[in-house]
């Protein structure tokens, strides 16, 4: 009799199957979409009851129109048009792309359009601009005798291809990562869009991709499938193995030299790669541990200690190679092909809280983080003599000054609101939409930095108290609005000085009456950027304006100075830190001067359809 | 020998890799005058040597990797300076199925080093993984994205039909394509569970959008019994496209979900495919509070099991139309309380997990899980019918030798729930109930033979039979043997034999060796006389 397989356990644990949930859009938003799906009908009805205003009639109406292929202009059959909400109506388009939704409630309705293989162009653009995709791409004013409403969908793109191995082996199970160029805090960044593995034939496919620019790389893999396994220093010389280095399409190890794949209008792009078998050499680095703050030797083996080791290239960009810590030898171990690397180790213990009667009564920093890095090259043989001196990561204090309206004297800032500096690495890519926090604290007390790996970073300043705005952010003498922050191997930087102003301006922007659009049918929505003419580390948050939600927005906490305001009739992700992008815009924008401590009003000029 | 209870594939590769380099020195440090294991890795399909295959030498007791090596251009590998011991051997290579040496159905031939043992001319065959792939389309020829593909392997032999035959699951991509790779050769069944992407089940939806796809089997049938098995050969690549057809979705209304104490017991609906739950959902919390009833909508026609809580019961249903489930529908479930006993009277397992698996005729298809504390477990709700017990502790599955109820003590792992609460005692083997021996042919040990422990008692094959594969010196070990009378047979090249068929082993029994394992055994029974290998 065979042993029972442990997989029987899986059955009991398998409860929610994502595949059987309704597919409401692209996967990255599934969580958010699901949440909406869980709202009870009662709640949604309540919501609808609150906004029956707008259209003339209160009678239920028929919504009708056509769905078109945005690329070809041809009608799109079997697209689903539906009113959002659990009890909403929905219909498929016919062979001429036409749809008809009877018995729709009057007033403002949010409409969703779905079809496999197609993307709602407006919703995609909204997501790229950093907006909430559930702020409904399509707002339709519904009433009696509706005009035809036209929606457009873009055919989704795909990248597929064949991976070949120089050894002639089947390229099965090679991990592929797709990067997508997006805009984050006004700058172009690369983000991980998807990962997959090659199948038994060595082929892969990324489907459902919106128009845009993509790059592709493979994760490293050793021939023996034992990548990342500990290397015994005593056996290191023997433990040579061969494998395939991480490689950008078509054949480079740098993102900057990688092919940029431009996809548009439903392209099915083929991208084939050949990976070359090469030697992977064992690398071991001994960690030199500092004394702990409690006098004992800091040991990464103590329970509760976290230890991580990250490999980067010599510019500080993270690499896909895995390094492991071996307790027995206090070494970090990996296997690498020839090249230049930096190995960064970080050790620390979480803050400890003492609980008494269920209340956290005190907390104690029990040491760390300790950090260290070593630069090295692998060239044809094992690297076993490396040392990483671990030292307490510098925790520097951000100097915060208040520049009171140009007065010579600086005053201290008195506010309990939080200031947060976030950073994003230059030339690197993000594994998710999250940016890293670099410094955090309240303005009235020290704002301290958090360890970040060596490299260069763009910095963004975020102030919760809108009575304050950024005057400048300097590292040493240089403005971080113009130059990235450089962090050394120990994680330190030149002294940081944040100068705040308390004479911030307000700007109220309003749509003209003409921007309201027709009384019935799809309501236009405008994306508005108020971009300072001067350099700043404060983010410009795009605003979405539409008549039915007031058609007006007030921005506060703005640094006084000259601004240009740009209005778009669709969601746009604008790399506003890049002057050439601004200069290439079809309009010159509306200039406005915001003076110290004053409120200004601007009637927006909207693009004419 | 029998390999550990984890699957062939990436799992053990990863485990082996961890230990590889660190423990190699232990073996390698043996004097160079030690024994040697060497051989050649060949492609099972072409017979060509495979270069850069990783061959690993494992420890017999825990299957930790002792040493690993890579084959040269001629496919050759060699381990030197080994102590006299038994070493299971594995090999892996990208694009091939990782395997133990001479692996059959979870058994393999371990290599025994020692005087007079030829361990240097091994031929280690690796085969490419078989592949099943295809495209799922729906009405109008549209590809179906995100369809859940469930792969079942048809049991090769009837006696192992109680094994969960679901082997893998995957989702179709945006082109409707799916692929199951690294499969063993065999007969497979594939089922698709999906929802029409445009389905809308709520009141506002048009009736033509209130649709569902019934679970569909190759070759595009919704009848479980008409599913076409797909025979896949070693290293073969087979295609199975499946077409889905949307049908009106059903509603299943459930009454009485508010319990007497005012709490809400949410009903759970599970879809059953090939006798197993593949998917569960529970709904209607708000409805249950306000109305005391709830409804599952968007239900595809098919076989379901509905679990209700007040009173605890299960409803087995074949849904072909909208259903109203009343407060008294279904079979009442009973509680089962269990106590563990060790076969040799030692202290039972303190902590662990127990799982009851439904057997033929049970009123439920869903395994019941529970926790073992102080050697005891309590399961609230077990449907009537026959169940088998699995006890897991410390990551290992214990051998269940017998289950006693108030009325009967039966060998094996089964018991029956009727219309009242049940107390059972589960006897666990200590690992001491083991029969060791040696297969011989022409006066020499024979490796790779199928060894079967056949119970004398008629009709007990399924619960009491044990198997092993003889190692390179002919040695074998039958574990977790229930006390009783048996005949041991060794069949050369016996792995193609459908050994569970009644009478299939009859002609080997006269040449077999009789053995009796006493009650409450201590230690291993070691057969002194060799078991003669018989040709298949």
pLDDT tens digits for range A7-60: 322 222 222 333 333 333 333 333 322 222 233 333 333 333 334 444 444 678
pLDDT at residue A163 greater than cutoff 80: yes
Q: What is the DSSP letter of A219?
A: P
The pLDDT of residue A185: 87
The pLDDT of residue A432: 54
Closest to A5 (Cβ–Cβ): which among B2, B70, B164?
B164
B506 or B285: which carries more pLDDT confidence? B506
pLDDT at residue B487 greater than cutoff 50: yes
The pLDDT of residue B84: 94
Q: How far apart are CA B207 and CA B202, in angstroms?
A: 9
pLDDT at residue A603 greater than cutoff 80: yes
Name the percent of chain A lying above pLDDT 90.
41
- The encoded tokens of residue B173 equal 């991509």
CB pairs under 8 A between A and B: 198
Give residue-wise pLDDT tens across range A210-230: 999 999 999 999 876 533 344
> Which residues in chain A are closer than 8 Å to B358, comparing Cβ atoms?
none
Query: Please, which residues bridge with residue A332 across strands?
Result: A285, A325
Q: How far apart are CA B103 and CA B475, in angstroms?
A: 16
A22 or B386: which carries more pLDDT confidence? B386
> Which residues in chain A are closer than 8 Å to B52, comparing Cβ atoms?
167, 169, 223-224, 242
A483 or B293: which carries more pLDDT confidence? A483
Tell me if B181 and A169 make a contact (CB, 8 A cut-off): no
Give residue-wise pLDDT tens across range A62-82: 999 999 999 999 999 999 999
Please list, in sequence order, all residues whose beta carbon lies within 8 angstroms of the beta carbon of residue B225, skipping any fewer than 6 positions away: none
The pLDDT of residue B313: 86
Tell me if A23 and B145 make a contact (CB, 8 A cut-off): yes
Q: How far, CA to CA in Å, does B144 sit from each of A159, A537, B133, B150, B280?
A: 19, 46, 14, 15, 21
Distance from CA of A504 to the nearest CA of B (A): 49
CB B317 within 8 A of CB B306: yes
The pLDDT of residue B312: 83
The pLDDT of residue B124: 97
The pLDDT of residue A117: 93
pLDDT at residue A308 greater than cutoff 70: yes
- The encoded tokens of residue A419 equal 């200031």
Tell me what the mean pLDDT of segment A170-185 comes to.
Answer: 92
The pLDDT of residue A549: 81
Q: How far apart are CA A500 and CA A444, in angstroms?
A: 12
The pLDDT of residue B259: 67
Give residue-wise pLDDT tens across range B264-309: 777 889 999 988 888 888 765 666 667 777 888 899 999 999 988 7
CB A226 within 8 A of CB A247: no
- pLDDT tier for residue B503 given thresholds of 50, 70 and 90: confident
Q: How far apart are CA B381 and CA B370, in angstroms?
A: 11
Mark out the alpha helices in A30-160 (DSSP H runs): 30-37, 41-50, 121-128
Start-to-end CA distance of chain A, whole Å, equals 75
> Which residues in chain B are closer than 8 Å to A223, comparing Cβ atoms?
52, 54, 70, 94
Query: Please, which residues bridge with residue A346 across strands?
Result: A308, A371
Q: How far apart are CA B399 and CA A4, in angstroms?
A: 10
pLDDT at residue B214 greater than cutoff 90: yes
The pLDDT of residue B14: 33
CB A458 within 8 A of CB A487: no
Distance from CA of A63 to the nearest CA of B (A): 14
Tell me if B93 and A169 make a contact (CB, 8 A cut-off): yes
Q: Which of B21, B23, B108, B275 to probe the A interface (max A CBs under 10 A)?
A: B21
> Which residues in chain B are closer than 8 Å to A87, comparing Cβ atoms?
202-204
Given the structure tokens 């191997």, which residue do they identify? A489
Q: How far apart are CA B342 and CA B340, in angstroms?
A: 7
Minimal-distance CA residue of chain B relative to A230: B18
The pLDDT of residue A431: 64
Tell me if A41 and B13 make a contact (CB, 8 A cut-off): no
- Residue A386 CA from chain centroid, whole number: 35
What 3-state class would DSSP assign to B455?
strand
Q: How far apart are CA B210 and CA B188, in angstroms?
A: 32
CB A119 within 8 A of CB A565: no
Cis peptide before B219 (omega within 30 of 0): yes
- The encoded tokens of residue A11 equal 């059955």
Q: Calculate the CA dihedral of residues A329, A332, A338, A339 and round it to 10 degrees.
A: -140
Q: How far, CA to CA in Å, does B152 sit from each of A288, A480, A498, B213, B232?
A: 53, 59, 63, 20, 13
Given the structure tokens 């899980």, which residue do they identify? B369
pLDDT at residue B130 greater than cutoff 80: yes
Q: How far apart are CA B452 and CA B472, in angstroms?
A: 17
Tell me what the mean pLDDT of segment B337-365 comes to.
Answer: 84
Does the ipTM exceed 0.85? no
Minimal-distance CA residue of chain B relative to A158: B174
Q: What is the CA radius of gyration of chain A?
A: 28
CB A104 within 8 A of CB B225: no
pLDDT at residue B427 greater than cutoff 70: yes
Residue A355, chain B, CB below 8 Å: the answer is no
Residue A362, chain B, CB below 8 Å: the answer is no
| Entry pTM | 0.83
Residue B357, chain A, CB below 8 Å: the answer is yes
Residue A24, chain B, CB below 8 Å: the answer is no
pLDDT at residue A580 greater than cutoff 50: yes
Say how many CA atoms lie within 13 Å of A211 toward its Cβ: 15
For B522, counting Cβ atoms within 10 Å of its Cβ (0-12 exposed, 13-18 middle, 19+ buried), the class is exposed
Q: How far apart are CA A263 and CA A215, in angstroms?
A: 11
The pLDDT of residue A18: 34
- The encoded tokens of residue B309 equal 């809580």
What 3-state class would DSSP assign to A501?
strand
- pLDDT tier for residue B206 given thresholds of 50, 70 and 90: low
Tell me if B18 and A92 make a contact (CB, 8 A cut-off): no
Closest CA to A87 of A142, A34, A39: A39
Q: Which of B54, B95, B354 to probe the A interface (max A CBs under 10 A)?
A: B95
Residue B105 has φ and ψ, to the nearest 5°, of: 45, 45
Name the percent of chain B lying above pLDDT 70.
87
The pLDDT of residue B523: 60
Q: What length does chain B have?
A: 536
Q: Which of B93, B170, B174 to probe the A interface (max A CBs under 10 A)?
A: B174
The DSSP bridge pattern shows strands A175-184 and B166-171 to be unpaired
Give residue-wise pLDDT tens across range A413-464: 667 778 888 888 887 777 655 567 888 888 777 788 887 878 889 999 999 8
Given the structure tokens 């919703």, which residue do they identify? A123
Closest CA to A189 of A451, A484, A608: A484
- Other C-beta atoms within 10 Å of B510: how many? 9
pLDDT at residue A231 greater than cutoff 60: no
Give residue-wise pLDDT tens across range B7-37: 333 333 333 333 333 333 344 444 446 999 9
Say how many CA atoms lie within 13 Å of A466 toward its Cβ: 8
The pLDDT of residue A291: 64
> Which residues in chain B are closer than 8 Å to A200, comparing Cβ atoms?
95, 129, 131, 179, 181-182, 237
Q: Which of residues 182-221 of B touch A (CB under 8 A)?
A: 182, 193-195, 197-200, 202-206, 208-209
Residue A555, chain B, CB below 8 Å: the answer is no
- The encoded tokens of residue A605 equal 């000029």
For B298, counting Cβ atoms within 10 Å of its Cβ (0-12 exposed, 13-18 middle, 19+ buried), the class is buried
Give residue-wise pLDDT tens across range A239-274: 668 899 999 999 999 888 999 999 999 999 999 999
Tell me what the mean pLDDT of segment B170-193 comes to.
Answer: 94
Give residue-wise pLDDT tens across range A198-210: 999 999 999 999 9
Tell me if A170 and B106 make a contact (CB, 8 A cut-off): no
pLDDT at residue A2 greater than cutoff 70: no
Q: Which of residues 136-155 of B touch A (CB under 8 A)?
A: 140, 142-143, 145-148
CB B268 within 8 A of CB B306: yes
Average pLDDT value for chain A: 79
């Amino acid at each position: 009799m065979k042993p029972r397989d442990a997989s029987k356990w899986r059955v009991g644990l398998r409860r929610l199957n994502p595949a059987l949930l309704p597919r409401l859009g692209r996967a990255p938003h599934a969580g958010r979409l699901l949440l909406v799906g869980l709202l009870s009908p009662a709640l949604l009805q309540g919501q609808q009851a609150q906004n029956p205003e707008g259209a003339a009639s209160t009678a239920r109406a028929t919504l009708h129109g056509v769905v078109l292929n945005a690329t070809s202009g041809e009608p799109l059959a079997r697209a689903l048009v539906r009113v959002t909400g659990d009890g909403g109506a929905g219909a498929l388009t016919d062979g001429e792309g036409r749809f008809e939704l009877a018995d729709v409630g009057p007033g403002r309705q949010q409409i969703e359009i779905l079809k496999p293989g197609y993307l709602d162009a407006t919703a995609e653009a909204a997501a790229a601009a950093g907006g909430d995709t559930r702020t409904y791409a399509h707002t339709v004013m519904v009433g009696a005798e509706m005009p035809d409403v036209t929606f457009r969908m873009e055919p989704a793109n795909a990248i597929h291809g064949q991976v070949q191995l120089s050894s002639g082996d089947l390229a099965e199970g090679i991990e592929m990562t797709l990067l997508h160029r997006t805009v984050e805090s006004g700058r172009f960044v690369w983000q991980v869009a998807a990962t997959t593995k090659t199948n038994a034939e060595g082929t892969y496919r990324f489907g459902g991709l919106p128009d845009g620019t993509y790059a592709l790389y493979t994760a490293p893999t050793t021939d023996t499938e034992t990548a990342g396994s500990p290397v015994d220093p005593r056996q290191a010389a023997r433990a040579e193995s061969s494998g395939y280095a991480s490689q950008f399409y078509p054949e480079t190890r740098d993102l900057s030299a990688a092919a940029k794949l431009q996809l548009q209008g439903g392209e099915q792009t083929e991208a084939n790669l050949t990976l070359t078998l090469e030697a992977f050499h064992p690398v071991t680095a001994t960690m030199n541990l500092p004394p702990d703050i409690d006098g004992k030797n800091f040991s990464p083996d103590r329970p509760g200690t976290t230890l991580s080791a990250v490999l980067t290239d010599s510019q500080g960009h993270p690499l896909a190679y895995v390094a492991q810590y071996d307790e027995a030898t206090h070494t970090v171990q990996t296997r690498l092909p020839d090249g230049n690397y930096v190995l960064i180790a970080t050790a620390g213990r979480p803050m400890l809280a003492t609980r008494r009667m269920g209340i956290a009564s005190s907390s104690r920093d029990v040491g760390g983080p300790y950090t260290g890095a070593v630069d090295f090259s692998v060239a044809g043989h094992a690297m076993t003599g490396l040392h990483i001196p671990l030292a307490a990561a510098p925790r520097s204090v951000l100097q915060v000054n208040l520049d009171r309206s140009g007065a010579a004297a600086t005053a201290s800032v008195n506010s309990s609101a939080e200031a947060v500096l976030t950073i994003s690495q230059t030339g690197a890519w993000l594994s998710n939409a999250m940016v890293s926090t670099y410094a955090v604290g309240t303005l009235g007390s020290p704002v301290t930095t958090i360890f970040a790996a060596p490299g260069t970073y763009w910095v963004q300043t975020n102030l919760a108290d809108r009575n304050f705005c950024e005057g400048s952010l300097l590292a040493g003498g240089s403005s971080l609005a113009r130059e990235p922050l450089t962090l050394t191997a120990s994680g330190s930087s030149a002294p940081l000085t944040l100068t705040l102003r308390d004479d911030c301006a307000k700007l109220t922007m309003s749509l003209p009456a003409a921007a309201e659009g027709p009384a019935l049918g799809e309501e236009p929505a405008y994306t508005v950027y108020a971009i300072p003419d001067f350099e700043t580390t404060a983010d410009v948050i795009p605003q979405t304006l539409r008549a039915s939600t007031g058609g007006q927005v007030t921005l506060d906490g703005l640094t006084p100075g000259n601004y240009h305001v740009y209005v778009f009739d669709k969601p746009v992700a604008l790399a506003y830190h890049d002057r050439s992008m601004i200069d290439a815009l079809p309009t010159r924008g509306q200039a406005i001067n915001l003076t110290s401590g004053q409120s200004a009003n601007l009637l927006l000029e909207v693009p004419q359809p | 020998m029998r390999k550990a209870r984890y699957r062939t594939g990436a799992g053990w590769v990863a485990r082996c890799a961890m230990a590889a380099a660190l423990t190699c020195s232990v073996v390698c440090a043996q004097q160079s005058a030690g024994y040697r294991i060497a051989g050649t890795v060949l492609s099972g399909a072409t017979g060509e040597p495979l270069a850069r295959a990783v061959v690993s030498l494992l420890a017999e007791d825990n299957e930790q990797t002792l040493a690993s090596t890579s084959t040269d251009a001629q496919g050759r590998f060699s381990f030197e300076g080994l102590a006299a011991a038994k070493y299971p051997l594995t090999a892996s290579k990208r694009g091939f199925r990782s395997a133990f040496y001479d692996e059959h159905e979870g058994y393999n031939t371990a290599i025994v080093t020692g005087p007079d043992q030829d361990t240097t001319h091994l031929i280690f065959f690796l085969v490419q993984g078989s592949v099943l792939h295809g495209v799922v389309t729906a009405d109008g020829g549209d590809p179906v994205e995100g369809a859940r593909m469930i792969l079942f392997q048809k049991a090769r032999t009837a006696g192992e039909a109680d094994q969960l035959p679901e082997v893998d699951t995957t989702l179709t991509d945006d082109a409707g394509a799916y692929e199951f790779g690294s499969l063993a050769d065999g007969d497979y069944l594939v089922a698709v569970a999906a929802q029409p992407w445009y389905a809308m089940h709520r009141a506002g939806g048009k009736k033509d959008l209130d649709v569902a796809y019934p679970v569909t089997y190759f070759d595009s049938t919704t009848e479980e019994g008409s599913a076409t098995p797909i025979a896949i050969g070693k290293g073969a690549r087979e295609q199975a496209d499946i077409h889905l057809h949307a049908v009106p979705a059903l509603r299943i209304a459930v009454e009485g979900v508010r319990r007497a104490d005012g709490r809400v017991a949410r009903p759970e609906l599970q879809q059953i495919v090939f006798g197993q739950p593949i998917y569960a959902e529970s709904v209607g919390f708000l409805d249950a509070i306000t109305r005391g009833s709830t409804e599952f909508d968007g239900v595809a026609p098919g076989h379901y099991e509905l679990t209700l809580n007040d009173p605890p019961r299960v409803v087995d249903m074949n849904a072909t139309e909208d259903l109203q489930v009343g407060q008294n529908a279904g079979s009442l479930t009973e509680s089962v309380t269990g106590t563990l006993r060790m076969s040799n009277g030692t202290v039972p397992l303190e902590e662990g997990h127990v799982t009851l698996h439904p057997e033929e005729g049970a009123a439920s298809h869903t395994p019941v899980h529970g926790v073992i504390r102080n050697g005891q477990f309590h399961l609230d709700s077990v449907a009537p019918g026959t169940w088998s017990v699995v006890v897991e502790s410390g990551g290992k599955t214990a051998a269940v030798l017998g289950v006693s109820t108030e009325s009967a003590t039966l060998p094996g792992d089964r018991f029956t729930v009727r219309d009242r609460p049940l107390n059972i005692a589960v006897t666990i083997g200590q690992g001491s109930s083991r029969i060791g021996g040696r297969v011989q042919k022409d006066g020499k040990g024979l490796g790779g033979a199928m060894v079967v422990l056949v119970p004398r008692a008629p009709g007990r094959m399924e619960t009491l039979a044990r198997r092993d594969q003889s190692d390179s010196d002919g040695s074998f070990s039958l574990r977790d043997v229930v006390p009783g009378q048996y005949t041991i047979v060794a069949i050369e090249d016996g792995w193609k034999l459908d050994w569970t068929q009644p009478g299939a082993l009859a002609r080997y029994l006269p040449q077999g060796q009789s053995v009796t394992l006493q009650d409450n055994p201590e230690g291993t029974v070691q057969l002194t006389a060799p078991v003669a290998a018989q040709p298949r």
